[in-house]
Amino acid sequence: MATNISDRLRAGVTTRTAEETRALAAEWAAALPADATVALHGDLGSGKTTWVQGLALGFGINEPVTSPAFTIYTLHSGPERMLAHMDAYRLRSAQEAEDLLIEEFLVSPWCLAVEWPDRVPGWISRDALHVGLEIEADGRHSIRLRGR
Ligand SMILES: Nc1ncnc2c1ncn2[C@@H]1O[C@H](COP(=O)(O)OP(=O)(O)O)[C@@H](O)[C@H]1O
Ligand SMILES: [Mg+2]
């Protein structure tokens, strides 16, 4: 039986390569609602940034998505929607998180993808989609869409 990408991710998927992870994220990108917050949970190296790279691919965004050393978030505009990529790892305080003013830059339709979402609870809307990433003992990466 053919199942859609969200159902597959909800059941949990494992990938062997970053390329495979990006391809899944790119497929999922098309299933996202117009204005979507995506909270990416997982340890360092679990594939959060790789997932965002896949989202960008899916949105037709060609510029590279990286883990910036000094910025908390990067805005990418694309032909279908804009992608705001936040990496909250280096945020030091709740105040710093509040001061980001991202909403001023979000133009619908947008996707706000957040690494380390627990550090910026104020930016994670109630309708956010939560994705958990893990490295398995055998080196594969697992991806699971939580909730709905
Ligand atoms: N199956 C896989 N899925 C995602 N990343 C993988 C996979 N296999 C190897 N990798 C590698 O693991 C690393 C994941 O890094 P990254 O996406 O930056 O993680 P995070 O943002 O969670 O710290 C990358 O170097 C990527 O190439
Ligand atoms: Mg990262």
pLDDT at residue number 148: 59
- The whole-number pLDDT of residue 24 equals 98
Please work out, in degrees rounded to the nearest 5, the angle formed at the alpha carbon of residue 62 by the alpha carbons of 60 and 64: 130
Q: Where are the strands (E) in the chain, listed by range?
A: 13-15, 36-41, 73-76, 82-87, 110-115, 129-135, 141-146
pLDDT at residue 70, rounded to an integer: 74
141 CA to middle of ligand 1, Å?
A: 8
User: Which of 13, 44, 50 for a ligand 1 pocket mutation test, highest count of atoms within 8 Å of Cβ?
Assistant: 50
Specify the pLDDT at position 9. 98
Number of Cβ within a 10 Å radius of residue 128: 16
Q: Whose CA is nearest to atom 25 of ligand 1?
A: 45
Closest ligand relative to 89 C-alpha: 2
Domains of the chain: 5-146 (3.40.50.300)
Instruction: Tell me which residue has its CA closest to atom 18 in ligand 1.
Output: 49
* pLDDT at residue 100 in the model: 83
| pLDDT number for residue 98 | 80
Residues of the chain below pLDDT 50:
none
